[in-house]
Amino acid sequence: MAEAQISAYARIANGVVVNSILANDAFAKAEGLVLLPLGAGIGWLYDGKAFTTPATPVAPVPESVTMRQARLALSRAGVLKAANDAIEAMEGQPGEEARIEWDYAAELRRDHPLVAGLGQSLGLDDSAIDNLFREAQTL
């Protein structure tokens, strides 16, 4: 009697591979399993026809970064000089307070009004600012 061939199969729930199982064809068919291609595994997506890698999750935006990290991120993005110039050009009491924050604060909070104002001056939308904060957190 010939031995049944064992292959890797996937158990799918809501379009996601939730388990991989070594089984023979008869067991896989009875259990509603899908043949799993080489390299695919738990967490992969399945649309009923093909497997795809899951999207890379986006890191959360940090609430704050150090001023050192903020300046390094702006420098790497090529906008540090423009940021310094924009802060220097701010007038009146708001400008004075912005310069104090920029020069003496230990951290820069994502929700601080200076961030929104500076982002607007540099032509950065919320997504770009969020990405700068994510980058800064790694520095």
Banded pLDDT at 56 (limits 50, 70, 90):
confident
pLDDT of residue 128: 92
Q: What is the pLDDT of residues 74-110, one digit of tens each?
A: 999 999 999 999 999 999 999 999 999 999 999 999 9
pLDDT of residue 1: 52
Query: Distance from CA of residue 88 to its chain's centroid?
Result: 32
Coil, strand or helix at 17: strand
pLDDT greater than 60 at residue 24: yes
52 DSSP assignment: E
Amino acid identity, position 35: L
Task: For the beta carbon of residue 79, count every other beta carbon within 10 angstroms.
Answer: 20
Distance separating alpha carbons of residues 117 and 62, to the nearest angstrom:
18
Residue-wise DSSP of 55-105 = PPPPPPPPSEEEHHHHHHHHHHTT-HHHHHHHHHH--HHHHHHHHHHHHH-
